Structures are given as C-alpha cells and as structure tokens.
A = this chain, B = another copy of it.
C-alpha cells in the first residue's frame, strides 16, 4: 500500500528493475517446476524460491500466493504460444490444410525447443481449478485459431458450448503432443505435424450432425 515510496538503488540497479528481475526469476523457476512431470502439486513456495535462487521472503513481494504464481506462469506461456501461432496461421496461404499445418508446426516447434512449455500446456496434471479453467479457455482459443474454417462452417461461438468435434480435436492434439514429448511416439516433427494435420482435416470435414441439428 505504501511501498512505492522506498525502493533505493542497490548493486547499481534500480529498485523496480530488481523487483522485476526477481519476478521473472520466479516465473522461470515456476515454469521449471510446472513443466516437469510432477504436476502442480510440487509447486511449493520454498521449492520455487530455491529453484530461483531467491529467499522465501521475496516470493510474496511479487505474488499473493502459490496460485498467483501458477497463473502467471501459465499465462506467460499461453500468451507467447497464442501470439506466435496466430502469426504463423495468418502468414500461411489461405487454405485450410496450409493454415492448420502452419499452426501445428508452430506448436510442435515451440514445445520441442522448450518441452517445459509443452508439458505445462498439455500434459501436466493440474489440481488447481483456476489452472484447469485457464486450460479449457485456451484450448478453446486454439481450437478456434486452428480451425477457423470450421468456425465459419459450423458457427462455433467462443462463449457458448463447444462442439464435440472441437473437443475431440483439442483432446486428440493434447494427447498426441504429450506422447510425442514423452518419447512415446517415435516420429520426427515433420511427420507428427503432417499426421495431425490430416487427422484434423478429416475430422473437420465430417458433417456436425449426420441426422439433423445437434441439439
């Protein structure tokens, strides 16, 4: 409440900068932990501070609690993924297969370069209901992003229910990317993206309800 008055220079660095760097160190450490296969149960205050090389004291300087850090980490990863994927899809030729492939390729490349991000987005066991909601929301976002032609066909709304087709695609992609990160799937990135693109397309081209309106 009355903290903006102090903040001296220390070690030649401004107070705001030191705080911001500590915050970033905590987010990085949080990503290390959330991006491991232990799930978010291992995200402890002491643990993340040790990983960040900071004193416990500084945790509450930047975050109100465990959940606040988890959300910050998740948002940090999602935001970057959304930005780059949107750019890749936009830059791709105006054709369903090309756009889907471009988006999937961006995701595959990103999580291959930093598996922590992939595990956080797709495979980490989240017990935190806030994080689960974020994942649902961002899944919806990506499904819309990648399947914008499906959106045009079927009229998927971002606010109302998701079609079973979209749910299926999101779940299928998550599972496939997770297995790929695990090493369970012995595919190179190129073939993974090819394969997922074809499956995505095949599902998209199904009529939403063969015998009439779906509800």
Contact = CB atoms under 8 A, between A and B. Distances in A.
Interface string A179-194: 1100011111001101
A118 to B, nearest CB: 14
A44 interface: no
A176 interface: yes
A192 B163 CA distance: 10
Contacts of A125: 39, 125-127, 132
How many of these chains are in the complex?
Answer: 2
A152 interface: no
Interface stretch (A27-35, A86-94, A197-205): A197-205
B37 A129 contact: yes
Contacts of A209: 191, 195
Contacts of A167: 172, 175-176, 179, 184-185
| Chain A interface main SS type | helix
Interface residues of A, number: 48
A41 interface: yes
A156 interface: no
Given A171-B176, A172-B175, A176-B171, A196 B39 contact: no
Given A165-B195, A172-B175, 11 more contacts: A38-B127, A162-B184, A164-B179, A165-B199, A168-B196, A171-B173, A187-B215, A191-B215, A194-B211, A198-B210, A202-B203
Interface of A: 37-41, 125-127, 129, 132, 161-162, 164-165, 167-176, 178-180, 184-188, 191-192, 194-196, 198-199, 202-203, 205-206, 209-211, 214-215
